[in-house]
C-alpha cells in the first residue's frame, strides 16, 4: 500500500516537472505596452482629415522593408484604440505591411478627445455604440485614402477589424469598393441590403464558442452565395470571442491560443496574396 502511494506521488511529481518544462520553454507573452516599447519599428501619430473636415487621429507603424508594401487599416474593438489595438498594429507591421490604426472615437471623448480621454473602457464602449455607421465609414474612407498616399505603401489596402471593428470591416467591404480585401475577426454581418453592395473578398475568422456571432455565419454564408459574393469564413473549434486578444496570454495548449496561431497563419497568407 505504501509502495503504491509512493509511486503515485512520484508520477504526480514527474507530471508537474514535465508541465513546468513546457511552460518554461514557452516564451512569456509581453504586455501590449511592453511590446510597443520594445518594438524596433517606427511608430507615428497622424491627423487624417475627412471630406467634412472631421479630424481622425491614427497610429501608423512602418515595417522594416526595402520597397513599398500594401497597407492594412486596423479597426479596433469596442474598447477603442487602446494599447492592445496599437500593439496588434505593430505586429501587422512586423509581418511586413504598413499598419494604419485609426481612433474612431476621435473627437467623441471628454473635451473632444479620443479613446485616451475616456475615464474607463466601459465609458469608451458606451460612446462607441453611439457612433453612426455613416460617420465610421466616412472616417474609414479618409483613412484608406491616407494609407494609399503614403510613400511607403503600394496600391493595395486591406481592412481588418476585431469585434465591433469586425462588424465595421464587413460594412467597409460594401462601402469602400477600392480596398483589396476585408478580414472580419468575430464581427457581425450587416443586413442583406448592405451585403449586396460588396465588391471585395470577405474573409471571416470566428470562435467556435462564440455563438452570438458565429451562429450567424451559416445564414450569412448562404446569403453571400446567393448574391454571388466572395465570403470565406473559418471557425476555430473551442475558441471564444476575442481570441486574437485573449489568445496572447492564454496557456499554450488552450483553444484561444491555438485559434490565434492558426488565424495569424491564415491572415498572413491572405495578405501575402495582395
| Residue listed under C-alpha cell 472631421 | 54
Contacts of 245 (CB under 8 A, 6+ apart): 77, 84, 162
- Packed helices 164-175 and 133-149: angle between N→C axes, nearest 10 degrees: 70
Q: Judge: domain 28-272, CATH 3.40.50.1820.
A: yes
pTM: 0.88
**b vs e for 231-255, b when ≥16 Cβ sit within 10 Å of the residue's Cβ?**
bebebbeebbbbbbbbbbebeeebb
> Using CA atoms in the order 64, 166, 170, 239, what is the torsion angle rounded to 10 degrees?
100
Distance separating alpha carbons of residues 208 and 239, to the nearest angstrom: 5
CB 213 within 8 A of CB 187: yes
For residue 103, give the nearest of 113, 92, 93 by alpha carbon: 113
Q: How many residues does the chain have?
A: 274
CA dist 102 to 61, 106, 108, 185, Å?
Answer: 12, 8, 13, 17
pLDDT along the chain (274 residues), means of 10: 42 38 44 94 98 96 97 98 97 97 96 94 96 96 97 95 98 96 98 96 98 98 98 98 95 95 97 94
Do residues 46 and 57 make contact, with C-beta atoms less than 8 angstroms apart? Answer: yes
Instruction: Look up residue 72 and give its three cell numbers.
Output: 492594412
Determine what percent of the chain falls in helix, strand and coil, rounding each to the nearest 5.
45, 20, 30
Q: How far apart are CA 241 and CA 135, in angstroms?
A: 26
Domain boundaries, the chain: 28-272
Task: Give residue 30's pLDDT.
Answer: 80
Tens-place pLDDT, residues 189-215:
999 999 999 999 999 999 999 999 999
Give the pLDDT of residue 29. 67
Going from the C-alpha of 256 to that of each of 8, 161, 185, 242, 261, the distances in angstroms are: 32, 18, 13, 9, 9
In whole angstroms, give the CA distance from residue 25 to residue 220. 41
Which H or E run includes 147? helix 133-149
The long-range contacts involving 268-273, CB below 8 angstroms and separated by at least 24 positions, are 268/95, 270/158, 270/181, 270/183, 270/203, 271/70, 271/72, 271/95, 271/97, 271/158, 271/181
Contact by Cβ (8 Å): 73, 81: no
pLDDT at 20: 36
Amino acid at each position: 500500500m505504501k509502495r503504491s502511494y509512493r509511486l503515485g506521488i512520484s508520477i504526480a511529481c514527474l507530471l508537474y516537472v514535465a508541465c513546468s518544462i513546457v511552460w518554461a520553454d514557452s516564451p512569456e507573452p509581453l504586455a501590449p505596452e511592453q511590446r510597443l516599447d520594445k518594438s524596433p519599428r517606427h511608430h507615428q501619430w497622424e491627423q487624417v482629415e475627412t471630406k467634412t473636415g472631421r479630424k481622425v487621429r491614427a497610429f501608423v507603424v512602418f515595417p522594416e522593408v526595402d520597397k513599398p508594401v500594401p497597407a492594412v487599416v486596423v479597426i479596433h474593438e469596442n474598447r477603442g484604440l487602446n494599447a492592445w489595438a496599437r500593439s496588434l498594429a505593430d505586429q501587422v507591421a512586423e509581418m511586413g505591411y504598413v499598419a494604419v490604426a485609426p481612433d474612431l472615437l476621435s473627437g467623441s471623448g471628454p473635451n473632444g478627445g479620443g479613446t485616451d480621454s475616456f475615464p474607463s473602457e466601459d465609458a469608451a464602449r458606451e460612446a462607441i455604440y453611439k457612433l453612426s455607421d455613416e460617420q465610421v465609414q466616412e472616417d474609414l474612407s479618409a483613412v484608406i485614402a491616407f494609407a494609399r498616399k503614403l510613400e511607403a505603401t503600394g496600391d493595395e489596402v486591406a481592412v481588418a477589424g476585431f469585434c465591433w471593428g469586425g462588424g465595421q470591416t464587413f460594412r467597409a467591404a460594401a462601402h469602400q469598393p477600392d480596398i483589396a480585401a476585408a478580414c472580419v475577426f468575430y464581427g457581425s454581418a450587416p443586413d442583406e441590403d448592405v451585403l449586396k453592395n460588396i465588391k471585395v473578398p470577405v474573409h471571416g475568422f470566428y470562435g467556435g464558442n462564440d455563438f452570438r456571432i458565429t451562429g450567424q455565419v451559416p445564414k450569412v454564408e448562404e446569403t453571400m452565395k446567393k448574391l454571388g459574393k466572395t465570403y470565406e469564413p473559418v471557425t476555430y473549434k473551442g475558441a471564444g470571442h476575442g481570441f486574437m486578444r485573449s489568445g496572447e496570454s492564454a496557456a499554450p495548449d488552450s483553444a484561444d491560443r491555438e485559434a490565434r496561431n492558426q488565424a495569424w497563419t491564415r491572415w498572413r497568407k491572405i495578405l501575402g496574396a495582395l
